[in-house]
Amino acid sequence: MMNSFSTYMNKIKAEDELKAKTKDFVKKALADKGNQIIELDLARPAKQKMSAVKKLITAASALAACIVLSITGYAVYHTPVNYISVDINPSVELGVNLFDTVISAQSFNDDGYLLLKDHQYTNLSVQEAVNQLIQEAAQNGFIAENGSTVIALTAESNNDRTASKLIFAGGDGVNAALCSAGIDAVLYTDCTNMELRNEASDAGLSPGKYKLIEILMALDPSATIEEYRYEKITSIISKINDLLDTDAYAEDQLAQYSADLGSINEIAQQVQQAIRNAEMEQNRNSDENQDSESGEQETNQNQNTSDSREDNNQSQTSPGAVQGQNQDSGDTTSPQGQQQNQGSTNSGQGKNQS
Amino acid sequence: MKQLSQPLEANDIVSIAIEQYADMVRRICFLYLNNPDDVEDVFQEVFLQFFLHADSLKTEEHQKAWLCRVTFNKCKDLCKSFWRKKVVSIEEIEIPFDNPEQSDLMKTILQLSPELRQLIYLHYFEGWTIPEISAMLKKNTNTIYTRLRRAKTLLKEKVGDFE
């Protein structure tokens, strides 16, 4: 069947007209870059003698222009024109200027404040800022080691291309941080416009979380913003997915979110898979430990069946043997004994990576 | 003058590279876009970026991987855009299918999420291994395995045994 896929894909060719247009575009773009260099060389102005007064006026004008430009430049640099928000359970929004530099950071909840306090995210690129934010989140225990945590990245812009660029940079930052921390997580990305950002701001939520709660409320009219305000993104997405599975919702309510639902379903499945993988790993490790402890107890039991009391005293230094002896006549294969051993093993094995 | 001679050389390189990689870029666009303007947009942007980054792309393998990754990212970004969220519709495809099974398979693949479509293409069409895909996409190998397994499960549910 996958040969069938390859056969079909091989039929797909770039149209001649498309190739021709692309060649023309690229050649022109590259030529413009080259022409600019030529023009700059030829356009160097001839030097002329100036009177002293004229020199002074020119210098003063230049100084005034510099001051104006500095003030304007400062204002432009420090004005956020787009935003990107990061939601895990900490909710943080980064303001981005025209030069794709982060110039502000605000939190929407206490956990978000924890990530921001004592750290500087401004004057960094979006990728660097998101990288540091995610690493901080990991260090503070907001990202589960089993890979089931959802990190929602939402670009906020009225410009389509800019939003895509922000998501791309933010995604790179998330991936770099997870690699650095040696953990995995599930990344959910979305874009919103400024109108939704304003609505979210009125509700005291980041746009990413606000939109997900809106989708949830479209599926379940009894849900409220207050009910889910402090919930993790992972929980909200799982809830949305559960509601989608029931089919008990009005289709027309979801029309505006139809394109998001596929992604949400996909993300929810990744979360479930990560949890399943972690459980399987946990069970595998507990079985292995159980086997090795049973072997150890049998060895100790064999020692205990020798005549001297000294042998018994020595075996009491091994925890497994003590448990077995305390329960009954040293039968370590009793279910209770096994469960106790299993309990202690699982608590130690709680942190497995998927 | 050097500046004048550069454009002439660049023209040859541009034509050769576009002829070499255009079909690959077009196939990737097919998986995500059905708007000719979007396809043209992707072509222009990725090939311009390709030539601007040409110095750092030493081998043909490196060039292909770079172009592949950038094209996927550009297509996925367009798919995620607030204003243009459309799934490729099977009815709008002009290339005829060999048989109904092929039609079902393509329809199912085009309904997968953008990430899974990418994996199906890289693994089953380009023949890349999981570690190669993992390196290219800068993702954990386990993540790629998990996603490919999920893609296979979804395909099996819809079209039966497909391998």
For B74-98, the pLDDT digits (tens) are 998 887 765 554 555 555 667 788 8
Q: How far is A10 from chain B (nearest CA, A)?
A: 8
Could you say which of A5, A7, A31 has the minimum Cβ distance to residue B7? A31
Using the predicted structure, report yes or no on whether residue B45 has a pLDDT greater than 50. Answer: yes
Using the predicted structure, report yes or no on whether residue B44 has a pLDDT greater than 90. Answer: yes
List b or e across A44-53, with b for residues whose CB sees 16 or more CB atoms inside 10 angstroms: eeeeeeeeee
| Residue A60 vs residue A92, higher pLDDT | A92
Contact A2 B81 (CB under 8 A): no
| Strands of the sheet with A186-192, listed across from one edge | A124-125, A101-107, A91-96, A82-87, A150-156, A186-192
Per-residue pLDDT at A244: 84
Per-residue pLDDT at A1: 66
Per-residue pLDDT at A298: 63
- Write the pLDDT tens digit of every residue in A282-319: 888 777 777 776 666 666 666 666 555 554 544 444 33
Residues 6+ apart with CB under 8 A from A299: none
Nearest CA in chain A to B148: A270
Report the distance separating Cα A98 and Cα A76, nearest Å. Answer: 7
Per-residue confidence band for A251, with pLDDT thresholds at 50, 70 and 90:
low
- Write the pLDDT tens digit of every residue in A259-286: 777 788 888 888 888 888 888 888 887 7
Nearest CA in chain A to B85: A259
Contact A4 B47 (CB under 8 A): no
Per-residue pLDDT at A246: 79
Contact A18 B22 (CB under 8 A): yes
Could you say which of A14, A168, A189 has the minimum Cβ distance to residue B25? A14
Of A1-5, A80-84, A135-139, A310-314, the poorest mean pLDDT is in: A310-314
Could you say which of B11, B40, B113 has the minimum Cβ distance to residue A18? B40
Return the H-helix or E-strand segment holding A171: helix A160-181
One-letter identity of residue B46:
V
Using the predicted structure, report yes or no on whether residue A102 has a pLDDT greater than 90. Answer: yes
- ipTM of this predicted structure: 0.85
Q: Which of B101, B35, B31 is nearest to B68 (CA)?
A: B31
Residue A137's region, left for phi above 0, alpha for psi from -120 to 50, else beta, is alpha
Could you say which of A6, A29, A192 has the minimum Cβ distance to residue B48? A29
Region A69-82: what's the mean pLDDT?
A: 76
Contact A12 B27 (CB under 8 A): yes
Contact B44 A26 (CB under 8 A): yes
- Write the pLDDT tens digit of every residue in A11-38: 999 999 999 999 999 888 887 766 433 2
Residues of A in contact with B106 (CB under 8 A): 5, 8
Region A325-334: what's the mean pLDDT?
A: 36
Q: How far is B6 from chain A (nearest CA, A)?
A: 8
Q: Which of B22, B34, B29 is nearest to A19 (CA)?
A: B22
Nearest CA in chain A to B149: A273
For chain B, give the mean pLDDT.
81
Could you say which of B3, B44, B47 has the minimum Cβ distance to residue A37? B3
% pLDDT > 70, chain A: 71
pTM summary value: 0.47
Return the H-helix or E-strand segment holding A238: helix A233-246
Report the distance separating Cα B47 and Cα B55, nearest Å. Answer: 14
